[in-house]
Every structure is written in C-alpha cells, then in structure tokens.
C-alpha cells in the first residue's frame, strides 16, 4: 500500500453496540479496500492471535476482544486508518481514548434494534470533541424496523439531525439495493452465493430505467419511489460541511453480511470524511500541514507478545513526517529519544514502517517511557491538550492477599493505571486499600489476571455499589461536604483531585440540586506533569 505523503489519509473508528456487526463491517471494508481477498480472515487472524498471545488467554476464554488495534486499507486513492475499538459489552476506557485519536466515527446500528446502550455512550464521547459521525444502518437483509422510524429514534435519542445519503430498496429477503440520493442512481446488488466472502455484483441504473419495476418488484419499486419523493420534498441535501462540524449525521443503509451497500458507503464516505484535523496544544492549534513532526500517545498496551515483556505505545501522528530511525523529543521527559521498531498494522498483520504522516498511527515498542497523553515532537517543544479520563462506572476496593508482596502490588497497580486499564482513587490514610474504577466490569478480571500473572500478586477485590464518578469543582466542593451525608463517597484521584462516587443517577441528582455552585465534571484531564 502506498504510504507516501501525498496519499490522503482518513482516520476513523466504528462505534456500535456489541453484535451490531462491527467485526463483519471491518472485514468488508478491508475486502473492498483490497487489503484481504476473502472475508473471514479477520476472524481467523484473531483466532491465530489468541494462539500466540498469552495474557490474552482471558480474551480467548471469554471469546471477546479486549484489545484494540489499527487497520489500514486503501480505497480509491485514499488511505483509511481504522482504529478498532474493543466492542464487547464490558468495554474499557481504551475504547473512549481511541476515539480521541480518530477524526471521525461511523456509528453502526442494527436495523432491528436501533440505538442501543453502548452506541449511546460512545456517541456522547464523540460529541465531547465534536467528532463528525456518519451512520451505517446494518442488517437490512433481515427483517428490521422502518428506516424513517430508525432515523427518528436517532434524532430523538442522540439529538443529531439525520440526512440519508442513500435509501434502501426493500428489506429482509427483499433487500435489493440502495438509491443514491446524490447521483439519483439505483444500485442493485446480486448475491454472489458465497455468504458475502467476496465482492458483490452491483449494477448501476438510472432511476427512470424501465427494467426497475421488474428487477425490484412492482409494489416495492412504487413504495421506494414514494419514499424517495418524500425525502426529496423534505428537500435536504447532504451538507458535508455540516457533517464535518458534527451538526448532522449522513445516513447509509446496507448489509455487512451480504456486502450490499458497502461500496456505495465507501464511495461517499471517502469524500465526506474529514482530513486529519488540527489539534489543540499549548501553542495553539497544530495543523496537519505544519512542517515539524508531532504525535501524541493515546494508548499503551502491555505484553501483546508474551515473548517480550515490553509494552506497545500507540501514537497518532498529527503533523510533519515520521521517518524510521529519527530522533524525536519526548516532551514530558525533556529528552531526545529514538522510536524503536515503529510498526503499523495491515489487516491485523504487523509491519515495520519507514514513514508515517498525519492521520497515521504508529505502534512503538516502549520500555516504559510512554504514558497516555504524552506529546512527541521535533523542533520546538509543546504539549497537546490532555486526553481526558472518563467517569468509570464500576468500582472495587483492592487489597493484596499476601502483605509481603505489597511492593509488587503497588508497582503492578501503578503500571496498569498508567496504561489506562483502571483509575485509582484513595482516601487519605487508606492508601493501602485503593479504590479502582473501570469503565467496563471485565477490566477487573483483566486486572486480577495481570497482577497475578505478571507481578505474582493475588488480590482481594471487593465490589463497591457506586456507578458514577464526578470530579467536583468550586468553593463548596470539599470532601467534608459530601462525605458521610448519604450522597456517596469522597475520594482523591491519582492527581489529587477531589472525586465523589455516587450510587445512582438519583443520588447524583440530589447532590447537584444541593450544591448549585459546584460543577460536577464527567471527565478529568490527565495531567501531564513534567518529570522531575
Ligand atoms: P460485533 O463485532 O459488532 O459484535 O458483530 P459481528 O460482526 O461479530 O456480528 C454479530 C453477528 O451479526 C454475527 O452473527 C454476524 O454474522 C451478524 N451480522 C453482521 N452483519 C450482518 C448483516 O448485515 N446481516 C445479518 N443478517 N447478520 C449480520 P453470529 O451468528 O453471531 O456469528 P456468525 O455465526 O455469523 O459468525
């Protein structure tokens, strides 16, 4: 694949609820990009990875993907970088952070289910940064809900205006194709008969083609024409600028399983998706076109390969050009470093890279010097604005079973906290028994497993009944004001900021009512203090 500076980059992530079809869609995007030749290999690669990656034993046992990676595929002269976010119900903060490295997101919705819980959470995270969101309504090959009803649900639940780019012709076994509202063409698909393993046959017809009633069925075609007319009367065209500003979501229909609608999606998404965005920093907006190289770390992953106890740090390139072997400045450490064995991920295979440009993601071996949020530059030093920490939703008190392994316990914990596996909260005087907060409950299992296998520490984990953390700010925001008064528990985060843990929406609501002058933040910036 071309990696030269002139190939446009589009960097995005897919957000969805488990089972909406993210793995299937990812695979089909790779198929249409020519990155794989027969669908089915992503799952197979995943299975292979299970065989080689040991700490992922847990992942294998649970049959889920905890880790995320970056996939690239080319399409029509554009290079897409797809940031793969962990998709299981028990997703982690990694999922959120990965979104901060994407320039846009594709919201994948199961046509039978509509907007589901996890989609909603991830949507809100995108909204925090005004990340543009396109919508792909999937599984049209199965009986689903009415497309108008689905769009209304998205608008009502997510408060974003939907503008269909294409429109489905039929549904379930009668799903024959889509009508492209921009070109006014009808795209009719024919099943290849190999369960969507290879590219599907697509015929492009004019909307007035006399064969259409016969091809899609007379009643169906009449219905589609009425629907198209209705959409046209509403008179809304897709406004790419409004999408890029996060004001509307362009909506596509299709079936990742049968490949119907994949190509029409890619063909438009290529033009709609924004180029690498400028990013806020201590010296103002950093533009992708700036000459000096800059990048930030959005994810650190330990022991992807058990043979190396190293970690892999994932960095998103924001400006300039990266060349293999070059020296860069690690701003927090104030030190020149050489990035070791930079890798990219091609259809889940890792390859060493020579060059990378804005929008690209590099994985570098990390002997322990990178933290989430670190800025890497050449030229003048600056720091990118912090990657936020999000409110965990599950909490537990943790204690080492064997007090003599206290040192390893502290070391292991701080490593895992640094990686972003969990957040740590303490009460002054009770530092020996910290409270850990995670976004998905599975992270507790990951923590227990890793503390045991990597640090030889067994722990007692006592689940706590809290479900929300709020960083509180304001004159009245003191630990005493909240502690012991039934709101929840007042603790301090790893940067010494006051956090209140609430048991329910209800107790949070009461506290908000009782303390109108206090601000309750759902996120906290990760402080990137310079090293001493
Ligand atoms: P996820 O990563 O979002 O969790 O979803 P995944 O792609 O694994 O898909 C979940 C299930 O939905 C799979 O079925 C998959 O085949 C099915 N699916 C995905 N896209 C479509 C689609 O467009 N139409 C239909 N009808 N089904 C779709 P499964 O039975 O769990 O697995 P499998 O036996 O098919 O592998």
In a domain, 223, yes or no: no
Nearest CA to ligand 1 atom 10: 19
Domain that holds residue 136: 9-167+237-272
Taking the CA of residue 17 as reference, the ligand 1 atom at the shortest distance is: 3
pLDDT at residue 88, as a whole number: 59
pLDDT for residue 528 is more than 90: no
How far does the centroid of ligand 1 lie from the alpha carbon of residue 129, in Å? 30
Higher pLDDT, 42 or 487: 487
Nearest CA to ligand 1 atom 24: 139
pLDDT at residue 62, as a whole number: 39
Q: How confident is the model at residue 367 (pLDDT cuts 50, 70, 90)?
A: confident
301: domain CATH number is 2.40.30.10
pLDDT at residue 343, as a whole number: 65
Q: How confident is the model at residue 310 (pLDDT cuts 50, 70, 90)?
A: low
How far does the centroid of ligand 1 lie from the alpha carbon of residue 270, in Å? 24
Average pLDDT over residues 352-374: 86
Q: Are residues 250 and 318 in the same domain?
A: no
Q: Which mutation among 15, 17, 21 tests ligand 1's pocket best, with the greatest number of atoms within 8 A of CB?
A: 21
Q: Are residues 480 and 437 in the same domain?
A: yes
Taking the CA of residue 16 as reference, the ligand 1 atom at the shortest distance is: 3
Please list every protein residue whose CB sits less than 6 Å from any atom of ligand 1.
Answer: 16, 18-24, 87, 138-139, 141-142, 255-257
Q: How confident is the model at residue 211 (pLDDT cuts 50, 70, 90)?
A: very high
Q: Above pLDDT 70, what percent of the chain?
A: 86
Strands (E), 217-282: 248-253, 279-281
Domains contained in the chain, number = 3
The reported pTM is 0.85
How far does the centroid of ligand 1 lie from the alpha carbon of residue 19, in Å? 6
Q: Which mutation among 13, 16, 24, 143 tests ligand 1's pocket best, with the greatest number of atoms within 8 A of CB?
A: 24
In a domain, 135, yes or no: yes
User: Which of the listed residues 350, 377, 404 is the one where a domain comes to its end?
Assistant: 377
In a domain, 219, yes or no: no
pLDDT at residue 58, as a whole number: 43
pLDDT for residue 348 is more than 60: no
pLDDT at residue 495, as a whole number: 85
Average pLDDT over residues 169-184: 93
Q: How confident is the model at residue 358 (pLDDT cuts 50, 70, 90)?
A: very high
Average pLDDT over residues 432-445: 87
In a domain, 215, yes or no: no
452: domain CATH number is 3.30.70.3280
Q: What is the DSSP letter of 255?
A: B
Average pLDDT over residues 436-459: 88
In a domain, 208, yes or no: no
Higher pLDDT, 325 or 260: 260
Average pLDDT over residues 222-226: 94
Q: Alpha-carbon distance 426 to 497, whole Å?
A: 10
Q: Are residues 422 and 445 in the same domain?
A: yes
Q: Which mutation among 82, 257, 258, 265 tests ligand 1's pocket best, with the greatest number of atoms within 8 A of CB?
A: 257
In a domain, 531, yes or no: no
What HEC string does 204-225 produce?
EEECCCCCHHHHHCHHHHHHHH
Nearest CA to ligand 1 atom 21: 257
How far does the centroid of ligand 1 lie from the alpha carbon of residue 21, in Å? 5
Taking the CA of residue 88 as reference, the ligand 1 atom at the shortest distance is: 4
131: domain CATH number is 3.40.50.300
Q: Are residues 325 and 405 in the same domain?
A: no
In a domain, 425, yes or no: yes
Q: Alpha-carbon distance 210 to 207, whole Å?
A: 9
Q: Alpha-carbon distance 441 to 446, whole Å?
A: 9
pLDDT at residue 3, as a whole number: 59
Q: Are residues 159 and 65 in the same domain?
A: yes
Q: Are residues 257 and 325 in the same domain?
A: no
Strands (E), 353-393: 355-356, 361-366, 375-377, 388-390
Q: Are residues 20 and 149 in the same domain?
A: yes
pLDDT at residue 52, as a whole number: 35
Residue pair 275/244 in contact by the 8 Å Cβ criterion: no
Q: Are residues 333 and 402 in the same domain?
A: no
pLDDT at residue 484, as a whole number: 78
Q: Is 387 helix (H, G, I), strand (E, B) or coil?
A: coil
Residues 6+ apart with CB under 8 A from 460: 398, 399, 400, 401
How far does the centroid of ligand 1 lie from the alpha carbon of residue 407, in Å? 45
How far does the centroid of ligand 1 lie from the alpha carbon of residue 497, in Å? 43
Taking the CA of residue 142 as reference, the ligand 1 atom at the shortest distance is: 26
User: Which of the listed residues 328, 343, 377 is the one where a domain comes to its end?
Assistant: 377
Q: Is 78 helix (H, G, I), strand (E, B) or coil?
A: strand
Nearest CA to ligand 1 atom 16: 257
Average pLDDT over residues 345-373: 78
Residue pair 341/365 in contact by the 8 Å Cβ criterion: yes
User: Which of the listed residues 333, 356, 377 is the one where a domain comes to its end?
Assistant: 377
pLDDT at residue 48, as a whole number: 45
How far does the centroid of ligand 1 lie from the alpha carbon of residue 20, in Å? 7
pLDDT for residue 57 is more than 60: no
Taking the CA of residue 27 as reference, the ligand 1 atom at the shortest distance is: 7
Q: Are residues 117 and 65 in the same domain?
A: yes
Q: Are residues 426 and 348 in the same domain?
A: no
Q: Are residues 30 and 84 in the same domain?
A: yes
pLDDT for residue 287 is more than 80: yes
Q: What is the DSSP letter of 103?
A: S
- Give the containing element (helix H, strand E) for 44: helix 41-52
Q: Alpha-carbon distance 65 to 382, whole Å?
A: 35
Could you report the per-residue pLDDT of 226-256, keeping only the tens digit for each?
A: 999 999 887 778 899 999 999 999 999 999 9
pLDDT at residue 335, as a whole number: 94
Q: Are residues 439 and 502 in the same domain?
A: yes
In a domain, 231, yes or no: no
Nearest CA to ligand 1 atom 18: 21
Beta-ladder partners of 178: 168, 187
How far does the centroid of ligand 1 lie from the alpha carbon of residue 18, in Å? 10
């Amino acid at each position: 694949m071309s990696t030269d500076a002139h190939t446009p980059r589009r960097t995005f992530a897919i957000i969805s609820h488990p089972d909406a079809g993210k793995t299937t869609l990812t695979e089909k995007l790779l198929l249409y990009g020519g990155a794989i030749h027969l669908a089915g290999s992503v799952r197979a690669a995943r299975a292979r990875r299970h065989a080689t990656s040991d700490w992922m034993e847990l992942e294998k046992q649970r049959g889920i993907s905890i880790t995320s990676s970056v996939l690239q595929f080319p399409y029509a002269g554009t290079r897409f970088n797809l940031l793969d976010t962990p998709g299981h119900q028990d997703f982690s903060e990694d999922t959120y952070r990965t979104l901060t490295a994407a320039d846009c997101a594709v919201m994948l919705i199961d046509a039978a289910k509509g907007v589901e819980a996890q989609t909603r959470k991830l949507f809100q995270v995108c909204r925090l940064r005004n990340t543009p969101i396109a919508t792909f309504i999937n599984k049209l090959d199965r009986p689903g809900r009415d497309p108008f009803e689905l769009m209304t649900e998205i608008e009502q639940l997510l408060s974003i205006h939907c503008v269909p780019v294409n429109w489905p012709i039929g549904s379930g076994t009668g799903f024959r194709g889509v009508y492209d509202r921009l070109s006014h063409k009808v795209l009719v698909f024919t099943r290849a008969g190999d369960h969507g393993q290879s590219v599907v046959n697509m015929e492009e017809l004019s909307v007035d083609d006399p064969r259409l009633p016969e091809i899609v069925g007379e009643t169906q075609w009449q219905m589609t024409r009425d629907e198209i007319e209705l959409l046209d009367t509403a008179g809304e065209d897709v406004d790419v600028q409004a999408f890029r500003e996060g004001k509307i979501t362009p909506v596509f229909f299709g079936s990742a399983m049968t490949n119907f609608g994949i190509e029409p999606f890619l063909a438009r998404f290529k033009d709609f998706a924004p180029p690498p965005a400028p990013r806020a920093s201590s010296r103002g907006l950093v533009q992708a076109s700036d000459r000096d190289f800059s990048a930030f770390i959005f994810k650190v992953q330990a022991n992807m390969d058990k043979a190396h106890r190293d970690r892999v740090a994932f960095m998103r390139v924001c400006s300039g050009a990266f060349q293999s072997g070059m020296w860069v400045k690690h701003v927090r450490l104030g030190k020149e470093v050489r990035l070791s064995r930079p890798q990219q991920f091609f259809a889940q295979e890792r390859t060493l890279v020579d060059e990378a440009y804005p929008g690209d993601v590099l994985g570098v071996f990390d002997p322990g010097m990178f933290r989430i949020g670190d800025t890497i530059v050449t030229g003048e030093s600056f720091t990118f604005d912090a990657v936020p920490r999000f409110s965990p939703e599950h909490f537990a008190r943790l204690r080492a079973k064997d007090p003599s392994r206290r040192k390893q316990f502290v070391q292991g914990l701080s490593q895992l906290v640094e990686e972003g596996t969990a957040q740590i909260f303490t009460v002054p005087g009770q530092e020996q028994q910290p409270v850990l907060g995670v976004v998905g409950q599975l992270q507790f299992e990951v923590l227990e497993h890793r503390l045991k296998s990597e640090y030889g520490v067994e722990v007692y984990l006592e689940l706590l009944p809290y479900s929300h953390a709020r960083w509180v700010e304001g004159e009245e925001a003191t630990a005493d004001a909240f502690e012991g008064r039934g709101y929840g528990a007042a603790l301090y985060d790893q940067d010494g900021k006051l956090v209140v843990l609430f048991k329910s929406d209800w107790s949070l609501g009461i506290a908000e009512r009782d303390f109108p002058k206090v601000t309750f933040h759902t996120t906290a910036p990760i402080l990137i203090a310079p090293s001493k």
